[in-house]
A and B are shown apart, each in its own frame.
Chain A
Amino acid sequence: MAGIWIFAESREQTLELISAGTSLARQLDGAAVVTFATSRQLAEEYISCGAGEVLVLPPLAGGQPLEAYVPAIIEAVRGGDPDIFLISATQRGREIAARVAAALDTGLCSGCTALKLDKEKKQLIMERMLYGGAAVQTVVCSGRPQMATIPPRTFEPAAPQEGRQGKVTELAGVQPSPVKVVGRAPKAAEAVDITEAKVVVCAGRGFEKKEDLNLAQELAQVTGGAVGCTRPVAEELRWLPEDLYIGISGKKVKPGLYIGLGVAGQIQHVTGMRDSKVVLAVNRDENAPIFDAADYGIVGDLYDVVPKLIKELRIALNK
């Protein structure tokens, strides 16, 4: 069967990888794009969006995690012998990919942020972050299939096309996993999505107490932005929800303006905001690394600077 195979946790991410897969397939003289799906209905949609074949996984029994599909995926990959296998880099996707790669004794590029194809060698050339984002590593995979996990939203989702045909194959039953799910507590959806904000005001550990975040809120209000934070503010202090922290293990943002308040600028954080158009930083330590990542740096105490900044912005923006 060969070709380019795809597995993702959700419909949206599957469509993103189909669009990555179909563009690779074109360069490989029309190799097949083969996608896993968890229902027949999704299978039809994936075909209309560019998949040539869809492998439908049987429904999981209650109390089974998604990872229970691993043995079935391994078996299908062994039989189908794909050239390339792309998996969405969600947490479950990362585990599934690592286990599939180990079982097949092949290489896996985790968190692949860019890929291109060496057509002659039929080899994927993949990029990923290293050292918390301080460096970019370019890798190739010498095993088969060549595997990568790709973060959600790296590619635009594929769109449906008129009259596409494809093959749907139902896979056989799944053995129960030794990992039993005994409870699930869904996360409450957050109202703000900082990845969409045009201005991001990022609160760092330079804030002394939770109430002081009002300063960041006020600045966000004046600039029409949203408040985000560094990891310790969310994970250690728990002043803001985890959905709001920016960085290599948090959200990637690319606003027009990023304002860091009391943010040190360690590499793991900077990696999440480096694509911002303009960066303004306020830090009282003139040697803070954030100033190397900033266009405009104000050396000063945020408790002194931010009110002045708000006042000046109010005047300038007539607010």
Chain B
Amino acid sequence: MLKIIACFKWVIDEQDIRVDQKSRELIMERVGYKISDYDRNAIEEAVRQQEAHGGSVVAVTVGPPGARQSLKDALSRGPERAWFISDPSFAALEPSQTAAILAEAIKTKGEFDLIICGEGSSDLYAQQVGPALAQRLGIPCATYVNKVTLEPGEKKLTAERKLDDGIETVSIQLPALITVLPDINTPRIPSLKQVLGAAKKPVEEIKKSDLGQDFQPRLETISILGATMERRRLKYSAEAADIKAVVDALLKEGVIA
């Protein structure tokens, strides 16, 4: 039976972040959280493969206790259970820590055939966790996958990787890991029934002490500053006189000739 693990991250919705124009500090007061965009595709792909071939899907996340809110959302998208790898110290993990923690947790849980991760998270977008996890588990991986075909009987998969220079099709023996691109599928919108059903699905908690390690960061943040932009922010209407004023201004700027 096919065993699939879908990894996801609970992230700040970047659209809610405001920047103090003077201090360049990030204003995080009213931020919402979401399942990282690409990870929705990862969960969706896991569930589609299970629907096609049978087997099971477990959704896995690493985070601080507050990330518990994510589990219902993740489970409403189809996986039948979740692992919640949590510790208060898991709040601002850098990618090498996340990969190390996931690797340890997956090792303690045992068997799997396929791990699916998003291409990158929508907060850090470091694009490291998938390949780093594969490396730590000693399994092959294919990154930037746009299409995947599983052949569970033969314990292998064929994946199309969308790269800068074209499409590369690869064949890999399972167990393996893939990272998926946003256009691999369109994530479903959970129905009310699925949302209610998600509350009843089992969540297994994995504590830091179960993993017997410290997971020190290898990359340290010195500062985070909001990106600011000097723009004039002049507004005009669609009236002919205004349009002419804009064209005159562009001519004066010397950007059209």
Interface of A toward B, CB cutoff 8 Å: 65, 70, 90-92, 94-95, 97-99, 101-103, 105-111, 125, 128-143, 177-187, 198-199, 223-224, 235-236, 248, 256-257, 266-268, 270-271, 274, 277-280, 286, 291-301, 304-305, 308-309, 312-313, 316-317
Q: How far is the CA of A270 from the CA of B130 in the complex (A)?
A: 27
Residue interface bits B221-249, CB-to-A below 8 A is 1, else 0: 11111110101111111101011101111
Chain A residues, Cβ within 8 Å of B143: 91, 94-95
Chain A residues, Cβ within 8 Å of B217: 107, 142
- The closest CB in chain A to the CB of B119 belongs to A249
Q: Quick check: B15 and A278 within 8 Å, CB to CB?
A: no
- The closest CB in chain A to the CB of B136 belongs to A102
Of the candidates A102, A178, A286, which one forms a contact with B235 in the assembled complex, judged by CB atoms under 8 Å apart? A286
Q: Quick check: B227 and A294 within 8 Å, CB to CB?
A: no
Chain A residues, Cβ within 8 Å of B135: 70, 98-99, 102-103
Q: Quick check: B165 and A278 within 8 Å, CB to CB?
A: no
Q: Quick check: B167 and A94 within 8 Å, CB to CB?
A: no
Q: Quick check: A224 and B171 within 8 Å, CB to CB?
A: no
Q: List the 10 closest pairs (A to B, CB-CB), nearest first.
A: A300-B238, A107-B218, A107-B219, A183-B169, A102-B132, A110-B126, A257-B255, A256-B255, A131-B14, A98-B131
Smallest CB–CB gap between B237 and chain A, Å? 6
A177-B140, A179-B141, A180-B171 given; A105·B236 CB < 8 A: no
B163 within 8 A of A: yes
Can you show 9 pairs from A to B with CB atoms below 8 A apart? A98-B130, A111-B125, A111-B127, A132-B14, A135-B227, A138-B223, A140-B222, A182-B171, A316-B247
Chain B at the A interface: mostly helix, strand, loop or mixed? mixed
Interface of B toward A, CB cutoff 8 Å: 12, 14-15, 17, 19, 26, 94-96, 99-100, 122-136, 140-144, 158, 161, 163-173, 182-183, 216-227, 229, 231-238, 240, 242-244, 246-251, 253-257
Of the candidates A95, A98, A134, A298, which one forms a contact with B237 in the assembled complex, judged by CB atoms under 8 Å apart? A298
Q: Quick check: A108 and B250 within 8 Å, CB to CB?
A: no
Chain A at the B interface: mostly helix, strand, loop or mixed? mixed
Of the candidates B100, B170, B231, B256, which one forms a contact with A293 in the assembled complex, judged by CB atoms under 8 Å apart? B231
Q: How far is the CA of A184 from the CA of B164 in the complex (A)?
A: 12
Q: Quick check: B238 and A299 within 8 Å, CB to CB?
A: yes
A257-B256, A298-B236, A316-B247 given; A135·B224 CB < 8 A: yes
Chain A residues, Cβ within 8 Å of B234: 295-297
Of the candidates A106, A125, A268, A317, which one forms a contact with B256 in the assembled complex, judged by CB atoms under 8 Å apart? A317
Q: How far is the CA of A286 from the CA of B236 in the complex (A)?
A: 10
Q: Quick check: A312 and B247 within 8 Å, CB to CB?
A: yes
Smallest CB–CB gap between A113 and chain B, Å? 11
Q: How far is the CA of A95 from the CA of B119 in the complex (A)?
A: 10
Smallest CB–CB gap between A144 and chain B, Å? 9
